[in-house]
């Protein structure tokens, strides 16, 4: 009798803990198509300095996490970040490649690669490489029928610069 009670409790707990909606629609193909379309425009917006147009890819409460920088929140912060990056003249050539998009319902995750190169003679901020590439992960959400980036994090494949050696010890 006791074994039957334990079995009944175990089965009840197992079914009660089951996810409520295990049949959400796979929307990966639709999300990938929309994300690829956005990624096809992004390099042109970068090369022409259109930070406002880039910001339109992001949700109002978006979060970006650039390498070696603080997290930035909100579309205005996204716009300001890309205005500063695109303010360097001449502007870089950017390529984006989405390797994978997985979506269920109105949420999607994209994993991809990026590469940019500034032309020779560009006046770059100290420590900014003229050529860089790396990987990214972006979380997208479909809002009012449009796929928008909610979270975007990327990083470089380049190693961090090494610290200069300490100065030689002074003799007294």
pLDDT tens sequence across 29-55: 999 999 999 999 999 998 888 999 999
Q: What is the mean pLDDT of residues 136-151?
A: 97
- In the chain, what are the domains? 24-156 (3.10.450.50)
Runs of H (alpha helix) within 17-108: 28-47, 51-55, 75-85
This prediction's pTM:
0.77
Q: Is the pLDDT of residue 144 over 70?
A: yes
Structure confidence at residue 171 (pLDDT): 66
pLDDT tens sequence across 54-113: 999 999 999 999 988 899 999 999 999 999 877 777 888 899 999 999 999 999 999 999
Cis peptide before 90 (omega within 30 of 0): yes
* Strand intervals (E) in 10-92: 58-65, 72-73
pLDDT tens sequence across 99-127: 999 999 999 999 999 998 988 888 887 77
Structure confidence at residue 6 (pLDDT): 42
């Amino acid at each position: 009798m006791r074994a039957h009670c334990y079995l009944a409790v175990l089965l009840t707990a197992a079914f009660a803990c089951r996810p409520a909606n295990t049949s959400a629609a796979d929307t990966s193909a639709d999300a990938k198509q929309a994300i690829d379309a956005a990624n096809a425009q992004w390099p042109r917006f970068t090369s022409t300095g259109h930070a406002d147009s880039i910001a339109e890819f992001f949700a109002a409460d978006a979060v970006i996490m650039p390498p070696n920088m603080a997290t930035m929140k909100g579309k205005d912060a996204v716009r300001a970040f890309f205005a500063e990056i695109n303010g360097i003249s001449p502007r870089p050539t950017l390529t984006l490649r989405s390797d994978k998009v997985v979506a269920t319902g109105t949420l999607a995750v994209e994993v991809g690669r990026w590469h940019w190169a500034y032309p020779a003679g560009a006046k770059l901020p100290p420590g900014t490489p003229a050529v860089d590439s790396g990987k990214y992960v972006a979380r997208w959400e479909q809002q009012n029928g449009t796929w928008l980036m909610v979270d975007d994090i990327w990083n470089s494949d380049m190693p961090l610069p090494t610290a200069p050696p300490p100065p030689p010890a002074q003799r007294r």
